[in-house]
Structures are given as C-alpha cells and as structure tokens.
C-alpha cells in the first residue's frame, strides 16, 4: 500500500530564486566576461525568449560560448564551489524551510540545470536530483547536452523512469515556470503549488 510522500521541486525560479546557470556562469568567468558574453549571445537569447529557438539549443550555445573546452575537473570543481558557497544566498525563504521540516518522504529536485553546479548542494541537503546531463569529450566539456534537456515533458519522463509513482500516497509538486506545467500534473492528493 502506498504510504510515503514524494516531493518534486523545480530548482530555478522556484526553490532557487534566480537562474542558476546564469549565476554559475557569472561566478565562474567573472562579471566582465559574463556581461560581454551575454551581449554576444543576445540574438540567441532573444530568439529563445520569443520562442524561435528552443531551450536546449540555447543552453548548448551558452555552454559552448562560456565553457566549451574547459577541462572536466576544472568545470566540476568550479561547479561544486558555486553549489556549496553561493546557492544558499538565493533560496526561497518559504519553500526551503518547509522542505527542511519534512522527515517522512523523498525530496527530488527536478531541473533543467546540471548536476555540475547544483549537485553538491542537493547532496549536502539530502535531496535527490534529476537534472540535465552535459557531454564531455577527451576530458573536456564540449558544450553539448547528453540526451534531452530536463524541462517540460522530459521532467515527467525522468520522474517516471526513476520512481514508481504508485508507491506514493501523496505527491507534492512545486514549480513556477512554463517548463513545469507537465510536472505539476503529477501532483496527487494535494494541491499543486505554483
């Protein structure tokens, strides 16, 4: 019989009040390079904003521009440092404390962000993580995604591949973005939280 609680939480703009890729990039490359990179990527970013370009190709272009060719160990160490020293500064002041009060359930961060820059934080907090995977070649980040971007319908697919939803009497879902609509549909026995 189903008795446990599953809590599915989006990261960017839900649990974390900003876009973690943008913040991680600024942390990793410095404000000056970050700013000029945004200027150079502006046509791509505008194309994404007005939906002429999808999120996965926009993210790949961003990663290639800022991080293409970075050694894997350097990229991962920088991401770990960001996760452990920067994420706490911008957590939702209501949702995060609520999650920390839960002792009977499984909390899963389901995000289009990558484990490289949030994984150390989720591990420290005792949360599980379903995230976008990045590609490496010859020990370097190549700026491509490994599989689909964990956003929209892909979030639901990843959850269903990783968890038997019938084992949970309650499924709480927290998501505020347009990429969370499908995930919100998994909520069971509680109200959806937007």
Question: pLDDT tens digits for 70-126?
Answer: 999 999 999 999 999 999 999 999 999 999 999 889 999 999 999 999 999 999 999
Both tokens of 6, joined, read 């599953």
Both tokens of 76, joined, read 């991962």
Q: What is the mean pLDDT of residues 147-164?
A: 97
Which CATH number do you get for residue 128?
Answer: 3.40.50.1000
Query: Which of 10-19, 121-130, 169-178 is predicted with the least confidence, judged by mean pLDDT?
Result: 169-178
What pLDDT score was predicted for residue 191?
47
Q: What is the mean pLDDT of residues 16-28?
A: 98
Q: Is residue 102 part of a domain?
A: yes
What pLDDT score was predicted for residue 194?
56
Q: Is residue 192 part of a domain?
A: no
CA distances from 41 to 62, 135, 147 (A): 7, 21, 23
Backbone angles phi, psi at 46, to 5 degrees: -65, -40
Q: Is residue 190 part of a domain?
A: no
Are 15 and 96 in contact by the 8 Å Cβ rule? The answer is yes
Say yes or no to pLDDT of 2 above 70. Answer: no
The neighbouring-strand residues paired with 140 are 71, 137
Counting the structural domains of the chain, the total is 1
Q: Is residue 191 part of a domain?
A: no
Per-residue DSSP letters for 156-170? HHHHHHH--GGGEEE
Q: Is residue 194 part of a domain?
A: no
What pLDDT score was predicted for residue 4?
86
Q: Residue 115: name the closest of 86, 82, 71 by CA.
A: 82
Q: Is residue 131 part of a domain?
A: yes
Which SS3 state, helix, strand or coil, does residue 56 take?
A: helix
| Residue 64 binned pLDDT confidence (cut-offs 50, 70, 90) | very high
Q: Is residue 189 part of a domain?
A: no
Backbone angles phi, psi at 157, to 5 degrees: -60, -45
Domain residue limits at 44: 4-184
Say yes or no to pLDDT of 192 above 70. Answer: no
Count Cβ atoms below 10 Å from residue 42 Cβ, excluding itself.
Answer: 10
Residue that the structure tokens 């020293």 belong to: 85
Q: Residue 106: name the closest of 3, 1, 4, 2 by CA.
A: 4
Contacts of 50 (CB under 8 A, 6+ apart): none
Q: Is residue 170 part of a domain?
A: yes
């Amino acid at each position: 019989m189903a008795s446990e609680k599953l809590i599915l939480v989006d990261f960017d703009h839900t649990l974390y009040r900003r876009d973690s890729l943008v913040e991680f990039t600024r942390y990793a490359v410095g404000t000056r390079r970050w700013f000029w990179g945004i200027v150079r990527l502006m046509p791509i970013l505008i194309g994404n904003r007005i939906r002429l370009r999808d999120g996965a190709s926009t993210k790949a272009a961003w990663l290639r521009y800022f991080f293409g060719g970075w050694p894997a160990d350097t990229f991962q160490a920088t991401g770990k440092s960001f996760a452990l020293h920067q994420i706490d500064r911008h957590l939702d002041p209501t949702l995060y404390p609520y999650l920390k009060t839960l002792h009977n359930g499984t909390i899963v961060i389901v995000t289009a962000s990558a484990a490289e820059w949030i994984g150390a934080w989720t591990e420290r907090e005792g949360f599980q993580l379903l995230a976008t995977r990045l590609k490496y070649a010859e020990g370097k980040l190549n700026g491509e995604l490994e599989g689909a971007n964990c956003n929209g319908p892909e979030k639901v697919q990843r959850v269903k591949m990783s968890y038997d939803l019938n084992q949970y009497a309650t499924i709480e879902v927290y998501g505020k973005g347009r990429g969370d609509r499908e995930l919100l549909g998994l909520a069971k026995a509680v109200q959806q939280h937007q």
